[in-house]
Amino acid sequence: MDDRTGILERNKDQARRVTAAINSGDTSEMDEIVAVDFVEHALAPFGREAPGAVHGPRHMRETVAWLLAQFPDLRMSIDAIVADDDLVAVLLTATGTNLGPLGGVSAPTGRAFAGRQSHWYRARDGRLVEHWATRDDLGAMLQLGVIPVPGAGPR
């Protein structure tokens, strides 16, 4: 394996480690995965905070705790992962049951959701330094019953 291939594989592994931390709830390795100057560009689910702030590993630990408080059985299954230069793209399927207050939007619904997401990371010196996400939050909110399905009548 040449140096470039090794770097690409290391970058993909860091993205896999973030996904594994979400699935397990174990964020003890975030200092090894995420740089201190890590920038979150994605709008958090349900508008939790504005993108573009520098948060570092603490942000990732808090985000995992926040997600798991709402969806204790949250699972993210990687469907595809690719890397080019310093970018890593992850296509995944997220599933979970809403058993905690839903990001200030609603009380727990007790309902499950499943949806595809894409997560993009930029890596530098073996750590993740930026993140962007594309999620179907509307689809999730419809599945969770937070927003009524159009034409379905009253909830």
Alpha-carbon distance of 115 to 81, in angstroms, equals 17
Evaluate whether 123 touches 8 at the Cβ level (below 8 Å).
no
Q: In this structure, what CATH number is given to the domain that contains residue 122?
A: 3.10.450.50
CA 87 to mean position of chain CA atoms: 16
Q: What is the pTM of this model?
A: 0.87
Residue 48 lies in a domain: yes
pLDDT at 59: 86
Residue 81 has which token pair? 């992962």
What are the CA-CA distances from residue 81 to residues 125, 128, 130 (Å)? 19, 15, 16
Predicted confidence (pLDDT) at residue 137 exceeds the cutoff of 70: yes
What does the pLDDT look like over 108-124, one tens digit per residue?
999 999 999 999 999 99
Which residues constitute the domain of residue 131?
A: 3-144
What percent of the chain stands above pLDDT 90? 71
Question: What total number of domains does the chain contain?
Answer: 1
